[in-house]
Amino acid sequence: MPRFAALLCGLVVAAAMTACGGGDETEPSPTGAPASPTAIASLTASGRAQAEALLKAAALQAEDLPEGFTLDEEQFITNEDEAKQGSILPGAPTAEDLSRWERILGYQASYSPEASGTVTSAALFYQVETDVYRNSKGADGHFEVIRQQPSDSEFITALQEEAKTAGGDVRDASVSPISFAKVGDNRMAFEIRIKAHYPDPDRELNLIAQVIGIRRGRATGFITVVALDSPLPVEELENLARRLDERLKDALE
């Protein structure tokens, strides 16, 4: 699923940024990267436009994040895209599963610090995703599958393998739930820790990813935060979750 596929991407980006002493600013990609024609054949032009507007309105924006984070990339995610991106992880739904849940479309945006330089003990990467379905039953069905995915024994193995793509030797990896305040109609939160050694330069990194998921009516929203050494305090995560829930609620009204 994109939220986990991008989580892996965030781990790799974080490793690359810290190993290389920071990254350069990049221009965000064009708003709403187009999907394949067959992927959106079931949506009319007006239906597609309405879904895109709802998804962007429901997502956290740069002003909702800590100061200094800017948009790197954003795109809309069809069912075919979602199935393809998620296929690297165990238990990923197929495009047929997503159609059965009547998922209409998704939106994904990533944010990183605007200034280059060495980053220590701070958030390195934020990703926000929103998804809209035709009804709350479908949204909840998909949400529950996502909730169960981190408990699969092969989940951590997939994360370890992906972290290696940044050139790291993974020494330890774990996933654990985060106790979270009630928000939305349904919620999930967990934390992933990966300790890896990077030979160039010779450094051991403690990468931490925190994932929050919310379902509100027929929409879902996810926030992924990747940090170095220290996770974001739960209070900050809960504030972001409440803001996301407010945006979801307002967008659906």
Residue 66: per-residue pLDDT: 87
What average pLDDT does the segment 199-207 reach?
77
CA atoms of 6 and 28, how far apart (whole Å): 16
The one-letter amino acid at 96: E
Residue 228: per-residue pLDDT: 84
User: Where are the chain's structural domains?
Assistant: 2-18+29-252
CA atoms of 194 and 18, how far apart (whole Å): 14
CA atoms of 17 and 122, how far apart (whole Å): 12
DSSP three-state, residue 65 = coil
Overall residue count recorded for the chain in this entry: 253
Residue 159: per-residue pLDDT: 72
pLDDT digits (tens, 9 = 90+) for 8-61: 656 655 555 555 454 444 444 433 444 433 333 457 777 889 999 999 999 999
Q: How far is CA 142 from the centre of its chain?
A: 15
**First-to-final CA distance of the chain:** 27
What average pLDDT does the segment 149-169 reach?
75
Judged against a pLDDT cut of 60, whether residue 205 lies above it is answered with yes
pTM above 0.75, yes or no: yes
| Fold held by 2-18+29-252 | Protein Transport Mog1p; Chain A (3.40.1000)
Spatial contact of 168 and 15, defined as CB atoms under 8 Å apart? yes
85/9: higher pLDDT: 85
